[in-house]
Amino acid sequence: MSSPATELTTATELTTATELTTGVRPGTPLTAAVSANAALELHGLTKAFKCGRGGRVVTAVNNVSLRIERGEVLALVGESGSGKSTVARLVARLETPTSGSVSVGGQAVPRRLGSAGLRALRRRVQMIFQDPYASLNALNTVGYTLSRPIRIHKLAPGREVGAQVSALLDRVGLSPGALWAARRPNELSGGQRQRVVIARALAARPELILADEPTSALDVSIRLDIMNLLLDLKDQEGLSMLFITHDLAGARYMADRVAVMYAGSVVEIGPAQEVIGNPQMPYTQLLRRAAPKFGEGTETQGAGAQDAGELPLRGEVPDLSKLPTGCAFEPRCPHATAACKVALPPLYELSPGHLVRCVLFDPARPGAR
Amino acid sequence: MSAAASAPRPRLAALGRRPLDALGSLMRRSPKAAAGIVILLVLSLMAISAPLWTSYDPTSLAFKSMLTPSRLHPLGTTFVGQDILSQLLYGARFTMLIGLLTGLIATLIGTAVGISAAYFGGRFDEIVNGIINVVLVLPGFPLLIVAAALLENAGDWAIIIVISLTGWAWGARVLRAQAMTLRRRDFIDAAVSTGEGPGRIIFREMLPNLSGIIAANFFGTALYGVLSESGLKFIGVGDVTQPSWGSMLYWAAGHTALLKGAWWWVMAPGLCIALLGTSFALLNFAIDEIANPKAANAGRLRAARRGKGRVLASQSAAQTLTRPNMKIQPPNPAALLSVRHLTAGYQTPQGPVRAVRNVSLDVMPGEFLGLAGESGCGKSTLAFAATRLLAEPGEVFSGQSVLEGVDLLTLSESELRRRRWKDYSMVFQASMNVLNPVLRVREQLYDAMQAHGVTDKAKLDARARELFGLVGIRESYLDVYPHQLSGGMKQRVVIAIALALEPKLVVLDEPTTALDVVVQRQILEEIQAVRRRLGIGIVMITHDLSLLTEMSDRIAIMYAGEIVEEAPSSVLQSAPLHPYTRRLMTAFPPLGGERTRREGIPGRPPSLALDLTGCPFAERCDSVMPICSLQKPVLSDLSPGHRVACFLHASPEQLTLAKPEVNHVLASD
Amino acid sequence: MLYLLRKFALLLLTLFVAATINFFLPRLIPGDAVGAMMAKYQGNLSPQAADALRLAYGLGNEGSAFQEYLKYLVKLLHGDFGRSITQFPTPAADVIAAAAPWTIGLIGVCTLISFLIGSALGLYSAWKGNQRFASALPAIGLFLGALPYFWVGSLLVYVFSLWHNVFPLGGNLDPFIGDSFTPKWWSSMLRHAVLPACSIIITAVGGWLVTMRNNAVSVMGEDYLAFARAKGLSERRILSRYVLRNAMLPSLTGFGIALGFVVGGSILVEQVYSYPGLGYYLFSAVTSKDFPLMQAIFLIISAAVLIANFLVDILYTFLDPRVRTGLGA
């Protein structure tokens, strides 16, 4: 049995993967892939951290290629340690990529950025953090926190900053804004804090929002409110969004498309309904099976979900400093074959826009799905 | 939220912002700090107003040698005929100045070095950290002596600089560590990602948050400065003709004051140094204690073992009779755990907070009971109060918690200890930290069993292996330390410990909240399998209703300290009755079906410090009726096992019972 | 092991830094400090001693400062610390060899005792936090820690030697005591050591007390303690296996830093009691401007503190499994 993965050089795999993940049909020239329409485009993004003095290298993000269209929400789903947050931090330049490229709004972001370049990037890309108790400085008023992006990026003359801050607060549902601006975070509930965090992200009038698990630190009763707020703002402001979550249901609620990450790689990507309703990669099936079944109509129990029923719930996320050469999920996978250990398989397209990184779907493989 | 939100309490972290406020709050919160400030003020006044107290020049040699204390010379005179009191008063100026200056300079250096190392990180931080460590372990004082002796002619400033240079490293070390934790905080990342530059991040975001530690460090190094200076002067290094407490001791020793019986000459300056040092040390300690909340929470847990949670039965019965129309229910003898009229909460300076309000609940043998609700609804307090694990300032105000016929809340301390873990055990929410980091996992499994009489090594070992098999961990993991385990493994170990003595009841407080979905599912399935096999009763607390509906036999929904609905899981899933339950059921997006917009629950739960006359949910309820804000609905049975506290489902009898009261209130309006 | 290797590297680095400071300090002092010193000795100094001094401080030597530095390091490695000026031509190493055992014995033992007493009291204070005595202990500790060592020494001398003649006024042994390590010698040695020891212990206890109390209080707030209680463990077991074991660790890491302070203070006590240890000679070197001896003593004190530190690090690896097995799974 010949493994197709070995036949692909890294370079060709990269381009194939890019074309495929961006939803461009195979055969379209690569130049078309760098379209001005993309809000965010990642090419072979990789981040390796050096850990401790032992020289251990942890590959947190491994050759990730993604594309978010303008006005689109892409959910990045995975467990802790899958690298999903690192992707956002790389895009926001809180970390510098080891290799690979990032383009925002069709413009490539250079690897080395001066302070002016950084500021320009940060006007266009804003981040929402997970824990609103940690992401607001308790000593600063809401007004100060929100005025900073406006002042840094000189978006309004000094005397209008206050009015802009109030308008921002009104927009995220904290009215009257002028009143909320005078408060400090300790006077706000978790949900109110997260609204302030969202307002801060909007203050710079960005094109792209990176929302890193914006609801998981919040109480169940307000999660939907925050998600609704994000969706509404996205529509009103014409934003694009990378929505990072570990919750499949939340991803399905928020996103147009879903990308599933495992051990630093994207292993499945496609339309939200399809990836979550009918997962194909054995890992996504495992996630699907682990998610609470509640509130789920029986009619959507597709073939994928049934498959997942057989999956053993064994093992844990692999050590990122000792990743296998092949598929990282292979040690836990019930369908593992010898081919899985050889190399990380490329993304195979199952249906338009639905891609899976798994040898089970290798068209050259006898009995492929 | 009301427009007039309470003014923020000045926190110590904000020392830099409102120094006077912070000082006042510091004094109120810590008697130690207050004492330190008072001593410091008295000594400062003494130094400043020296000319008011004495008309003598401290350096004048005008008097007779070695006079004993008298009205003219309250502390006598020195060997060369100087007035000791005037030396003491004027000496205070110099000694305190040295303390303040060395404290200032050393803190400045330490802060700058520590914060910049933490902010810039990488290679720079490694080098700086190396330097800090070297300076820290070099014995500072001997170095100081050598340097000061060499610098003899360079004057006081040289001494001040040298003391500061040997004393900055401790502050740098502490500040570096603190700034590193701060640097990792999201709000710094958030500031960076809005485009903020390093200057504002260091000075506006980081520095104010470190001001408490910086202040503590200042007093610490000032103490070092004072002691070093007096030590140097004592051995004659530096300008000993300059009156200071240290040089006074030098001359006293040089002229063998003690041998001549002039003990006051030695006593007075030494005591002054000790007082000044104590005030610095007190301030350092107090600020540090407040800036470091872990130390400030001293005694939080101390009460658990002291049986603060114990209530006298008579007292509890009396207190539950607060409402006349309420029937006292006796414990259910068939139940494994029968909680009756339990009211518990926390004592705060603003008065008691009743987080659990008159809750009655049964857990049948072998039953899986789920307890769900928003955070702050009192579900964890209920679990802790019922198992008598509520720690100070937590307190059980009244009620009973009967486990197999024994009220846990009235047990004696030793009886309670015997029953704990054997009859019931508990898996804590923060399981990441519930294992002792310095003991092997095996020992922590053993000690639970040893505390309850299992001492045979072979038996312990066999049982440990058995338990690990039960929760799906390889036996070889028995001999590792907690830090070698992943989060999921730790939680399994904790569950194994909880099962060690085959208790009849296990309370799980958010056992999987911090874990990933897959691991969470693995663990829950293991719990399910084990309890089926052993017939254990389980109470599981979580905010995740979707999980509970899958796992539980029965679910109780808590809101604002009360149980608002209780039903078999399948019933609750298909026909939730309370409006709160209904909203909770739709408060999270579904995994399947149509993608439609859903709404969360508007508003916030009421404060648990308030006493509510009506239904606690009335404010957020979309089916609210006039009666809801006037009277509290009673939890009543609608069908066997299904209880709801809501007027929508109240019996006519209940509503009529309520009517007169309603009319009365309306009439008086 | 990696941990200990790193600590050992730090030990060597710090020793090297101490030696380097020692070499460059006199050369960095603004003005001609050494020249002034030489001038002071003019006439009192034998020509050989003057030459030695000149050589030691690089006055009129041939080689460059760097060559001098290398020569100096080589000499140090051979145990040559230069010659004392006041006791010329006695090598500084000989003075140190005679004095060091007394200092190491006195300060070493006292540090250990005060560490044990202070930690025990600190643990008690945290454990019984609500009792009056226990809650007053930290304040007492802070007061004791703020006392100048030498002053406490003076007071004790006054009370127990001058006022009541209980203990000897100073020195380390009675004169004409005869052979070492005889019962008579031991009794004399111990009688002379009591007062200096007490002064050191009284002042050093405070710091350990406060440190241990803070550590224990924060350990008592940990989840694993609440869990241990819930397990129904006896209070004794909780205290020894849970609170003490964990609270001790930061005390030990702080030991090295605190040791420098304690030793710094203690050497002044030797001066008060004329106890012929390193501190006493350091003092007489300072008063007689015997810089080579002063510097040699500084080096040897540094070395002793660093070695003690390293011993504590070794102990630490036995107590903290996280260091022993390496962090992380």
Lowest mean pLDDT, pick from A40-54, B31-45, B391-405, C195-209: A40-54
CA–CA separation, B471 vs A98, rounded Å? 40
C 3-22: CB under 8 A from A = 6
- Mean residue pLDDT of chain B comes to 82
pLDDT, tens digit, for every residue of C54-88?
666 655 555 677 787 888 888 888 888 777 777 76
Task: Name the residue facing B520 among A220, A224, A290 (closest C-beta).
Answer: A290
Lowest mean pLDDT, pick from A170-179, B63-72, B137-146, B240-249: B63-72
Tell me the helices (H) and strands (E) count for chain A, helix number first. Answer: 14, 12
CB C242 within 8 A of CB C219: yes
Residue A314, Cα to own-chain centre: how many angstroms? 26
CA–CA separation, A256 vs A251, rounded Å? 9
Distance from the Cα of B438 to chain A's closest Cα (Å) equals: 22
Partners of B568 in beta bridges: B554
B 602-641: CB under 8 A from C = none
Within-domain flag for C274: yes
Of C189, C191, C199, C186, whose CA–CA distance to C158 is shortest?
Answer: C199
CB B274 within 8 A of CB C148: yes
Confidence of residue B318 (pLDDT cuts 50, 70, 90): very low
pLDDT score of B315 more than 60:
no
A250 contacts in chain B (CB < 8 Å): 588-589
Within-domain flag for C297: yes
CB A157 within 8 A of CB B209: no
User: Which position has the higher pLDDT, C271 or A3?
Assistant: C271
Place of tokens 């020289």: A55
Which are the contacts of C171, defined by CB distance < 8 A and separation ≥ 6?
Answer: C192, C273, C274, C275, C276
ipTM of model: 0.87
Using CA atoms of A279, A285, A289, A290 in order, give the dihedral in degrees to the nearest 10. -120
User: Which position has the higher pLDDT, B63 or B584?
Assistant: B584
| Three-state SS at B64 | coil
For C271, name the nearest residue in chain B, comparing CA atoms only.
B235
Residue A225, Cα to own-chain centre: how many angstroms? 20
pLDDT, tens digit, for every residue of A224-253?
999 999 999 999 999 999 999 998 999 999
What's the confidence (pLDDT) of residue C35?
63
Among B517, B550, B552, B580, the strongest candidate for a mutation testing the A interface, having the largest count of A CBs within 10 A, is B517
Within-domain flag for C176: yes
Distance from the Cα of A340 to chain B's closest Cα (Å) equals: 22
Contact C224 B295 (CB under 8 A): no
pLDDT score of A359 more than 70:
yes
Distance from the Cα of A235 to chain C's closest Cα (Å) equals: 44
Tell me the helices (H) and strands (E) count for chain C, helix number first. Answer: 14, 0
Cis check for the bond before B393: say yes or no (omega within 30 of 0): yes
B439 contacts in chain C (CB < 8 Å): 241, 245
Of A42, A46, A29, A55, whose CA–CA distance to A263 is shortest?
Answer: A46
Within-domain flag for A161: no
Residue-by-residue DSSP string for A163-228: HHHHHHHHHTT-SSHHHHHT--GGGS-HHHHHHHHHHHHHHT--SEEEEESTTTTS-HHHHHHHHH
CATH number at residue A323: 3.40.50.300
pLDDT, tens digit, for every residue of B209-239?
898 889 989 999 999 999 998 888 888 887 7
Task: Name the residue facing C146 among B278, B302, B452 (closest C-beta).
Answer: B278
CB of B258 within 8 Å of a chain C CB? The answer is yes
pLDDT score of B252 more than 60:
yes
Confidence of residue B69 (pLDDT cuts 50, 70, 90): confident
Q: Which domain holds residue A235?
A: 4-30+38-139+184-327
What's the confidence (pLDDT) of residue A37?
73
Residue-by-residue DSSP string for A304-340: HHHHHTT------PPPGGG--SS-TTGGG-TT--GGG
Starting at the edge strand found earlier in the chain, the sheet holding B537-542 runs: B424-427, B505-509, B537-542, B368-372, B554-559, B562-568, B642-644, B636-639
A224 contacts in chain B (CB < 8 Å): 587-589, 598-600
CB of C2 within 8 Å of a chain A CB? The answer is yes
User: Which position has the higher pLDDT, C23 or B481?
Assistant: B481
Q: Which chains touch C (3 or more CB pairs under 8 A)?
A: A, B
- Mean residue pLDDT of chain A comes to 82
Within-domain flag for A249: yes
- As for how many domains chain A has, the answer is 1
Neighbouring CB atoms inside 10 A of B45's CB total 12
Element (H, E) at C298: helix C291-319
pLDDT, tens digit, for every residue of A76-118?
999 888 899 999 999 999 999 999 999 999 889 998 888 889 9
What's the confidence (pLDDT) of residue B603?
82
Residue-by-residue DSSP string for C12-38: HHHHHHHHHHHHHHHHHSSS-HHHHHH
A277 contacts in chain B (CB < 8 Å): 592
| CA pseudo-torsion sign C43, C45, C46, C47 | negative
Q: What share of chain A is helix, strand, coil (3-state, %, to 5)?
A: 40, 20, 40
CATH number at residue C279: 1.10.3720.10
pLDDT, tens digit, for every residue of B349-396?
778 889 999 999 999 999 999 999 888 888 889 999 999 888 877 889
pLDDT, tens digit, for every residue of B595-639?
888 888 888 888 888 888 889 999 889 888 888 888 888 888 888
Token couple for A94: 């809180």
Contact A293 B591 (CB under 8 A): yes
pLDDT score of B532 more than 80:
yes
Within-domain flag for C37: no
φ and ψ at residue C27, rounded to 5 degrees? -85, -15
Share of chain B above pLDDT 70, in %: 88
- As for how many domains chain C has, the answer is 1
Q: Parallel, antiparallel, or unpaired for β A265-271 and A348-351?
A: unpaired
What's at B123, amino acid-wise?
R
CB of C28 within 8 Å of a chain A CB? The answer is no
Q: Compute the C-alpha angle B401/B432/B298, nearest 5°.
A: 65
Among B126, B134, B145, the strongest candidate for a mutation testing the C interface, having the largest count of C CBs within 10 A, is B145
| CA pseudo-torsion sign C82, C86, C90, C93 | negative
Which class is domain B13-52+73-291? mainly alpha
Residue A1, Cα to own-chain centre: how many angstroms? 35
Confidence of residue C238 (pLDDT cuts 50, 70, 90): very high
Which are the contacts of B30, defined by CB distance < 8 A and separation ≥ 6?
Answer: B286, B289, B290
pLDDT, tens digit, for every residue of B118-156?
988 888 998 999 899 888 888 888 888 888 877 776 677
Token couple for B194: 């809005």
B 366-425: CB under 8 A from A = 374-375
Residue A156, Cα to own-chain centre: how many angstroms? 31
B583 contacts in chain A (CB < 8 Å): 221
Element (H, E) at C191: helix C183-220
Burial of B473 (0-12, 13-18, 19+ CB in 10 A): buried
Task: Name the residue facing B273 among C36, C148, C214 (closest C-beta).
Answer: C148
How many beta-carbon contacts under 8 Å exist across A and B?
195
In this prediction, residues A284-313 reach a mean pLDDT of: 58
Using CA atoms of B138, B142, B144, B146 in order, give the dihedral in degrees to the nearest 10. -120
A127 contacts in chain B (CB < 8 Å): 189-190, 193
Partners of B425 in beta bridges: B506
What's at C66, amino acid-wise?
F
What's the confidence (pLDDT) of residue C47?
67
User: Which position has the higher pLDDT, B311 or C19?
Assistant: C19
Task: Name the residue facing B139 among C25, C233, C263 (closest C-beta).
Answer: C263
Of C210, C261, A354, whose CA–CA distance to B135 is shortest?
Answer: C261
CA–CA separation, B183 vs B206, rounded Å? 8
Distance from the Cα of A18 to chain B's closest Cα (Å) equals: 27
Confidence of residue B547 (pLDDT cuts 50, 70, 90): confident
Q: Which chains touch B (3 or more CB pairs under 8 A)?
A: A, C
User: Which position has the higher pLDDT, B332 or A207?
Assistant: A207
C289 contacts in chain B (CB < 8 Å): 149
What's the confidence (pLDDT) of residue B296?
42
Q: Parallel, antiparallel, or unpaired for β B554-559 and B368-372?
A: parallel
Q: Which domain holds residue C295?
A: 2-30+81-324
Within-domain flag for A160: no
pLDDT, tens digit, for every residue of C93-128?
888 888 889 988 898 899 899 999 999 999 999 998
CB of C230 within 8 Å of a chain A CB? The answer is no
How many beta-carbon contacts under 8 Å exist across B and C?
280
Within-domain flag for A178: no
| Three-state SS at B353 | strand
CA–CA separation, A219 vs C318, rounded Å? 43
Q: Which DSSP category does B589 fall into?
A: -
Contact A294 B518 (CB under 8 A): no
Crossing angle of helices B441-450 and B487-499, in 10° steps, is 20
CA–CA separation, B295 vs C293, rounded Å? 45
Among B127, B132, B141, the strongest candidate for a mutation testing the C interface, having the largest count of C CBs within 10 A, is B141
Confidence of residue B292 (pLDDT cuts 50, 70, 90): low
B32 contacts in chain C (CB < 8 Å): 138-139, 142
Token couple for A261: 């990450």
